Amino acid sequence: MQIAQPNLTDALVTLPRMPPWVTSARVETLEDVPFLSGAALATLHLVVGCDDVPHALLRDRLSLTASEACMHMLGRPERAGDIRDAVHLLRPGDQPGPAGAIYLQWQQATARPISVGTLQRALPSVTAEQIAAWLDTGRGGPVMRAATVLEAVLTAHPREEVMALILADAVLAQSLGWTHVLPLLATGLKSRDLRKRGTDLELACHKALVSSIGATLPIASDLTRRVAHLRAVIPKLRAKGAADAVALFLTKDALSPTIALTDPTAGVGRTGRTSMSDRAARRLCDRLVDLGVVRELTGRDTFRLYGV
């Protein structure tokens, strides 16, 4: 079967950009800030509906960003590289540390369409009934509903900031008609914002969305461009299992060639497809780096991780 080649030019130019006046404005009132966050959300909504965007990869990248933000909120030192290692170097049966556990929560919350079951897999400490009640909490627009849920969860569970942020982003996405959670509030809010209540918290959520969406749109554009180039080199790959490996790169922020591409209980092996040998996986990753479509993310000689 002949593989249709993506139109790289289209992938580079079709994604909407944030209007400059959204991020340049310096307004502080609850009357003005929602206008800016609404414009930002409307721009992102167009991106969410664009087929060229690698949505699974974008969600995984934002899950990493949200995890790093949560670590900062909790006063922990782990940053993106540490968090990647904590999850992507796990062997079957290993347990992640605190940073890895939070990253896995975000991955579980964003990987599948929004539902009570999806969220309970990410948040096993609360019941499905409680999650359903929170998803139905609040009235008004998407941001008002998200702020209401954020406040409700933090009031009931003051030390569960990660759970509150996941549920708030879930309610925001659900209110906007999106099928999946997209970490936005988690990447824009500060720890001091989580102590606010009422209209102060709602205002903080609007400001956070302007900031986080402003950062998300360039990431979406960059990943769309990179994925288009990655898809274009598939016909040049002759290694057995290369197409399956590339499919993983289209959905994961990072992969270990010696774990995700070789372990029959991880990565492609879970779909029943043939896993690669350790040597073949490392050679494939080096080949993709040489072709300029994948990057080595760690700078290490061993325990390397690769991503688009």
pLDDT tens digits, 8-53 = 444 444 788 888 888 777 777 777 899 999 999 999 999 999 999 9
Confidence check: pLDDT of 300 > 90: yes
Rounded Cα distance, 205 and 193, in Å: 8
Q: Look up residue 91 and give its DSSP letter.
A: P
Q: Which of 47-51, 62-66, 136-140, 206-210 has the lowest mean pLDDT?
A: 136-140
Burial (Cβ within 10 Å: 0-12, 13-18, ≥19) of residue 267: buried
Mean pLDDT over the full length of the chain: 89
Among all chains, which residue has been given the structure tokens 């079967």?
1
Among all chains, which residue has been given the structure tokens 């979406």?
220
Range 275-288 average pLDDT: 88
- Cα separations (Å) of 186 from 4, 106, 297, 302? 38, 10, 24, 32
Q: Which two tokens stand for residue 241?
A: 């299992």
Name every residue whose Cβ is closer than 8 Å to that of residue 159 and which is 6 or more positions away in sequence.
none
C-alpha torsion 13→15→16→18, nearest 10: -100
Rounded Cα distance, 159 and 169, in Å: 18
CB 185 within 8 A of CB 205: yes
CB 296 within 8 A of CB 304: yes
Per-residue confidence band for 256, with pLDDT thresholds at 50, 70 and 90: very high
Q: Which two tokens stand for residue 283?
A: 């050679």
Q: Which two tokens stand for residue 147?
A: 């702020």
Per-residue confidence band for 56, with pLDDT thresholds at 50, 70 and 90: very high
The helix (H) or strand (E) run that includes residue 306 is: strand 306-307
pLDDT tens digits, 236-254 = 888 788 888 899 999 999 9
Residue 274 CA, distance from chain mean position: 27
Among all chains, which residue has been given the structure tokens 């774990």?
259
pLDDT tens digits, 195-230 = 999 999 999 999 999 999 999 999 999 999 999 999
Q: Look up residue 77 and give its DSSP letter.
A: -
Give residue 275's pLDDT: 67
Burial (Cβ within 10 Å: 0-12, 13-18, ≥19) of residue 213: buried
Confidence check: pLDDT of 283 > 60: yes
Rounded Cα distance, 229 and 292, in Å: 9
**Residue 60, Cβ neighbours under 10 Å: how many?**
21
Q: Widest CA span of the chain, in angstroms?
A: 59
Range 46-69 average pLDDT: 97
Q: Does pTM surpass 0.85?
A: yes
Comparing CA positions, the residue from 41, 58, 60, 52 lying closest to residue 15 is 52
Percent of the chain's residues with pLDDT above 90: 75
3-state secondary structure of 154: helix
